[in-house]
A and B are shown apart, each in its own frame.
Chain A
Amino acid sequence: MHFVVCIKQVPEGTEVDIDPETGVLRREGADAKLNVYDTHALEAAVRLKEELGGTVTAVSMGPPQAEAVLREALMLGADSGYLLSDRVFAGADTLATSYTLAEAIRRLPPFDVIFCGMQTTDGDTAQVGPGIAELLNIPHVSYVTRIREMRAGAIAVDADTGYGIQTLRVKLPCLVTVTRAANQPRLPSYRLKQRTKDQPVTVWTSRHLAGADRSRFGLRGSPTQVERIFPPDRPTTRQMLAGTPDELSAGLIDRLREWRFL
């Protein structure tokens, strides 16, 4: 079995705002971490590997420092890591990102399941997983809450449709995106950390994706363009109350009566 896991390095927080004077984006705290949903994707793959045998390949697109999340993936049980890093990949929207990841995955040994986190905590789009599946022409299931079993050329999963839980059997190869309910990720293992500390992460540039359409990478391959950014507006009307808990409770109850909740 070969499991591929797509992961992303994201900012630690989203403490970003816009300088009201200059209109320039201020990004504080450059700390980066592995997207939390991707830890569940990795866990799902590693558990299946432990049960059925096989290998787990982690793939990420990003700047050179994104190697850190691939190292983390190795500590969490991935067998190898691939970093897609090239200036021509930069500025990619979700379509160009899906294309680049799909082109890389095509060049890996044949896979059975691709796992993605349900979304990233920085982009929040949930679009890249389905995009990869489309470009590889395989079925996908989003918002998987449970991996049931994998046998006879298919994987059985539960997925959140917004109305309830659908139990599905999907033929391999396929792609699933997992929610945080899917499993409890393990912590990075010290043993694996020691064992993998000298293991190289493979870096692929656009040259390694020979045959791919370069015009579909990065900014050039991105149909969407950010025209401008601006701060969200805030409403202004408010009344503040301070006092003892009794006074505050009474004040709130008065308003609830006024608003006809009581």
Chain B
Amino acid sequence: MSTIRVDVSRCTLCGECVAACPFDAVEIVQGALHFTEACRLCRICIRRCPQEALALEERPREHTERGTYRDVLIFAEQHEGHVHPVTYELIGKGLELARELGQKLHVVLIGSGVRVQADHLLAYGPATVYVFDHPDLRWFRIEPYTRAVVRVAQEIRPNIMLLGATPIGRSLAPRIAARLGTGLTADCTSLSVKPNGDLVQTRPAFGGNVMAQIVTPGHRPQMATIRYKVMAPARPVQAAPGRVVELLCDEDLLRTDIEVLGFTPYELDRGIEEADVIVAAGRGIGRAEGLALIGQLAELLGGAVGVTRPLVEQGWADHRQQVGMSGRTVRPRLYIACGISGAVQHVAGMRGAEHIVAINTDPEAPIFDVAHLGLVGDLYEIVPKLIDDLKEGAALHGLP
């Protein structure tokens, strides 16, 4: 453990250190400098002191440095000013873990013109939202984003650090972990803490056939990426006492060897994660053309088409449509699984659906174990009939 030592013979109580402290951890109490628990030993005060009255006092190290790391830090992903919804799930889980440890939650937000989003995030209850706001940070580029998060991590020394398991989070997190020399667990579906502060990270392994419980006992921070749509999102809190801290975006931070030549947003593609209804196809459809039938049913129900991994590997469907462990996790109100056997790696991505219907010729198919309604039969007989009936119903009743 270390502390800041004050040479009282030199200190003039000028207040430079109080003003300089980014954590408001320095107070003048009854004519003496006092460092509160908020002190992160960042040493800015030592450099700023005109009297050279401050110094870092090193005490003998504990067996490990674990104890000096505290609080939870989450990465708030945003794109063009829109905060990714996984961020609220990270805040929700992060607050829960922090509360359990009697620690705080902090958020780091990076982008261009994102100050308003920082204020917005504050309403969800973090102690601090650290913001890097600069025109050069508009697009995700790995080097400046890594530096920004690492700067905050090195300053506050979090015990736990969480990112969304999105394409950006999954690119950024391993880079940060390698720089900090710490462990990272991908795609966690459950997190809890032990009383000693160890984070218990649960993720599906072997394609989702087993769950693995992973810990990072000897290294800090303990890092994990979290599957989107698995944790409950945070809600705005009544009293949000946190604050926004804008951090400097200097040349060192912004340096990059990557130039953004252009960006083409996905057209009207809200992604299957956002769909209320998903009709999904598995290997049982047998041929690529079968997907057209699935598409018709999805359209009639106002939904999207999902697929299992073999269909993506066959090249029949785009990986963005893939539901499951190595694809997307979805939580629609209705999920209709057609010709899907129900391999655990697929089920891991859709079991959160409110209503699950399965159509399969094999009554023993494991998909029926998770279905609320199981139809045993050939999808090529059932689905066309269903499409006809739905069209007829629509003609009769103006529905759906």
Interface residues of chain A, those whose CB is within 8 Å of chain B, are 14-18, 25, 27, 36, 93-95, 98, 119, 121-131, 133-135, 139-143, 156, 160-171, 174, 179-181, 222-232, 234-243, 245-246, 248-253, 255-256, 259, 261-262
Contacts and interface: CB of A to CB of B under 8 A. Distances in A.
Contacts of A259: 333-334, 355
A262 B399 contact: yes
Given A139-B257, A224-B184, A261 B400 contact: yes
B351 A235 contact: yes
Contact of A235 (B207, B370, B382): B370
Contact of B374 (A141, A156, A232, A238): A238
B261 A156 contact: yes
Nearest to B271: A162
A145 B172 CA distance: 18
Contacts of B178: 95, 98, 130-131, 134-135
Nearest to B370: A235
A232 B210 contact: yes
A162 B277 CA distance: 21
A143 B168 CA distance: 9
A126 B167 CA distance: 9
Contacts of A18: 210
B174 A94 contact: yes
Interface residues of B, number: 98
B219 A227 contact: no
Contact of A223 (B171, B218, B357): B218
Interface in B257-285: 257-266, 277
B53 to A, nearest CB: 38
B36 interface: no
A93 B205 CA distance: 13
Nearest to A261: B334
Sort A-B residue pairs by CB-CB distance and give the 4 closest, nearest first: A14-B207, A223-B183, A164-B265, A224-B183
A143 B171 contact: yes
Interface of B: 79-80, 139-140, 142-143, 146, 166-168, 170-175, 177-179, 181-187, 200, 204-219, 256-266, 277, 301, 312-313, 315, 318-320, 325-326, 333-334, 343-345, 347-348, 351, 355, 357, 359, 363, 368-378, 381-382, 384-386, 388-390, 393, 399-400
Contacts of A166: 139-140, 260, 262-263
Contacts of B142: 130, 133, 139-141
Given A139-B142, A161-B167, A95 B183 contact: yes
A229 B212 contact: yes
25 contacts: A17-B210, A94-B184, A95-B178, A122-B206, A126-B171, A126-B186, A127-B170, A141-B142, A141-B171, A156-B261, A160-B167, A160-B320, A161-B140, A163-B266, A166-B140, A169-B259, A223-B218, A225-B215, A229-B212, A239-B373, A240-B363, A242-B376, A245-B382, A248-B377, A253-B393
Nearest to B77: A162
B186 A127 contact: yes
Given A180-B319, A241-B375, A261 B345 contact: no
A179 B168 CA distance: 14
A230 B344 CA distance: 13
B157 to A, nearest CB: 16
B393 A225 contact: no
A36 B310 CA distance: 12
Contact of B217 (A131, A165, A225, A255): A225
Contact of A163 (B79, B277, B347): B79
Nearest to A240: B374
A169 B258 contact: yes
A167 to B, nearest CB: 4
Contact of B182 (A27, A127, A171, A223): A223
B30 to A, nearest CB: 45
A166 to B, nearest CB: 5
A230 B205 CA distance: 10
A180 B382 contact: no
A130 B312 contact: no
